[in-house]
Chains A and B, each alone.
Chain A
Amino acid sequence: MSDHTAEEMMAVAAARRLRDGATCFVGIGLPSRAANLARATNAPNCVLIYESGTIGAKPRNLPLSIGDGELAETADIVVSVPEIFSYWLQGGRIDVGFLGAAQIDRYANLNSTVIGGYEHPKVRLPGGGGAPEIAASCDETLVMLRHSPRAFVERLDFRTTVGYGDGPGSREELGLKGRGVSAVITDLGVLEPDPDTCELTLTQVHPGVEPEAVVAATGWPLRVAEELATSPAPSNEELVALRALRTVDEA
């Protein structure tokens, strides 16, 4: 089964990044799909945590919202919202944060607040939600978004969530406990921060994607790793598991 969409490749590439047994704070949408794919394939023992306070959720169908009854019914425990953010997230107990965003810059800072000016926005987006503290406190953070010059920008319209701030040393200066964004998974490939400069660098392309196409879809001069890997195409098992994931309204 080699036929797959770019969207499916993105979900599979993201799921593979989640190691078995990890505790994972999951955003809704693309991250939730990928995290539940990981739970069905390579990371059956990962612990999924949603900001509604559901710890160890094992949804049979993908929830539409972060607080669906499905999450509460299948969780090990349900705690209050103040508790999930203070004791569990800020307490430093979560390995991986899994986020989406509308915009990202070269230092993996994220915007999910506004497009255009803050006072008179062109598009008012939902806002930060759980993201700022998820990216601050989780040991590492994975980001998923579709590649385009409008999303991968030279300058964010608003910095909602800090990746590497202004570059090396920023996270330490700001007192952020987690290590920061470890990978950005898109429909074209995977970007990882350079260990010295923290700048996002193309380290992996999906099958059939030329690095030039990724550079063209990025709004800053994207650096390409000298040893560029190609993502293994989704396996039969991964595609079957992914296609079996239904949102609650489709189930």
Chain B
Amino acid sequence: MADVVTLREAVAELVHDGDTVALEGFTHLIPHAAGHEVIRQGRRDLTLVRLTPDTIYDQMIGMGCAGRLVFSWGGNPGVGSLHRFRDAVEHGWPVPLEIEEHSHAGMAAAYAAGAANLPFGVLRGYAGTDLPERTSSAAWIDCPFTGERLAAVQAVRPDVGVIHAQQADREGNVQLWGISGVQKEVVLASRTSIVTVEEVVDRLEPRPGAVFLPSWVITAVAMAPGGAHPSYAHGYYERDNGFYQAWDPISRDRDAFIEWMQRHVLDTADVVEYHASLEAAVA
């Protein structure tokens, strides 16, 4: 059964230096509040896993939380580069970042294999590309039935899987809807999990097409209203496209980045204060 706790408690209890941590959410429901809490608690040397690193991993990498990144597309969607990610790869700032990269299809297969308790996933992919040469978690396998050569990707098994969802009930059952990415897979592939939610309700109304995660597959549930910002929560608030554009100049400059993180993350206690600090900056 999931414990319904504060996000601070969940991160203190479950995320340790050196852990492999996957914060997932494909454009939608990206768990920014949880990432901010990891930054506040000063975690180091994490292996971060995620298909699309997005601004939250840019922030975690820039604040020195990560020693390694496993990913498939590291950009600021619709805007351009992730400058903190690039600075870490190109110049080792603030600490060197090892990378292990896949394609989206490979990452999806690796998560699905992890959720299914298999050692690897299999796909038609990578053939003829330079990716397998650079990635120790991709290899070749011959089909035992047809002899066809296929790509194998090592299963992703994070110490902690982190997602954001719209709702939980008081028992810690979780429901999310809209674009669902690999959220189900990451929770089921991970040894422990944290789910942040927009709200805790008395009773979850079943929704057709929604992903339901029962309390007994989740370790901790924490309230984080607005916790996906600048990503969005379908039915609650829209993607803050202006933020993604504004992030480009902030993240280009090391000093501007540090100043922003100090003001909006380190000097705020939680997601409510984070939002208040953003509003104060606009006012």
Contacts and interface: CB of A to CB of B under 8 A. Distances in A.
Nearest to A71: B179
B238 to A, nearest CB: 6
A136 B26 CA distance: 22
Interface residues of A, number: 55
Contacts, number: 173
B127 A174 contact: yes
A54 interface: yes
B130 A160 contact: yes
Contacts of B125: 90, 132-133, 136
Residue from A69, A122, A128, A174 whose CB has the most chain B CB atoms within 10 Å = A128
Given A28-B78, A64-B78, A67-B179, A128 B239 contact: no
Interface residues of B, number: 56
Given A85-B108, A127-B101, A160-B131, A133 B179 contact: no
B245 interface: yes
A94 interface: no
Interface in A37-69: 51-54, 63-69
Nearest to A250: B241
A232 interface: no
Interface in B102-141: 102-105, 108-109, 111-112, 123-131, 134
A102 B283 CA distance: 39
Nearest to A84: B108
Given A68-B27, A128-B73, A53 B181 contact: yes
Nearest to A79: B180
A248 B27 contact: no
Contact of B124 (A54, A81, A177): A177
Interface string A135-179: 011000000000000000000001111100100001000111100
B51 A81 contact: yes
Contacts of A53: 26, 179-181
Contacts of A237: none
A67 B27 contact: yes
A121 B81 CA distance: 14
B220 to A, nearest CB: 23
Interface of A: 28-29, 51-54, 63-69, 71-72, 78, 80-82, 85-86, 89-90, 113, 118, 120-133, 136-137, 158-162, 165, 170, 174-177, 247-249
Interface of B: 26-28, 51-52, 71-75, 77-79, 81-82, 85-86, 89-90, 101-105, 108-109, 111-112, 123-131, 134, 148-149, 178-182, 184-185, 209, 232, 234, 238-239, 241-242, 244-245
28 contacts: A53-B179, A63-B78, A64-B244, A67-B77, A67-B179, A68-B239, A71-B179, A80-B180, A81-B51, A81-B104, A81-B181, A82-B185, A85-B123, A90-B105, A113-B130, A122-B90, A123-B90, A127-B73, A127-B101, A129-B72, A132-B105, A132-B126, A133-B105, A133-B124, A137-B124, A159-B128, A247-B78, A249-B245
